[in-house]
Amino acid sequence: QVQLVESGGGLVQAGGSLRLSCAASGRNFGSYVMGWFRQAPGKEREFVACINRSGRSTYYADSVKGRFTVSRDNAKNTVYLQMNTLKPEDTAVYYCATDTVYGHTRPSEYDYWGQGTQVTVSS
């Protein structure tokens, strides 16, 4: 079992940047594919990005492609989401999650989840 804790959320103006972190406890972090999702009030949880075990492959939702970058440091058991050129529509609670297959985009395909961190982008 793995426990995930997200951090780095906050309030930022449109056009600004934030870097989210997701720290994992437990063993074998490097054996997990990691994903980022977000959920805005009244909306379903949606896929943002994922990264494979080595960190050499990444995949993004069209809505964040070119603005967000996912990376990982397996030595630190941490995955990151660098968010640039933020827009008000990026406002949501952001979650990290584990998977065993790279490229999944549905929340039901992911196994372990963090508690989320709030990102609010003001216009």
Give the tens place of pLDDT for each residue, 39-48. 999 999 999 9
The residue ranges of DSSP E strands in the chain, in sequence order, are 3-7, 10-13, 18-25, 33-39, 46-51, 58-60, 68-73, 78-83, 92-99, 117-122
| Contact residues for 83 (Cβ-Cβ < 8 A; gap 6+) | 17, 18, 19, 20, 64, 67, 68, 90, 119
Whole-number pLDDT of residue 102: 96
In this structure, which amino acid lies at residue 80? Answer: Y
**Residue stretches of the chain with pLDDT short of 50:** none
The percentage of residues in the chain with a pLDDT greater than 90, rounded to a whole number, is 98
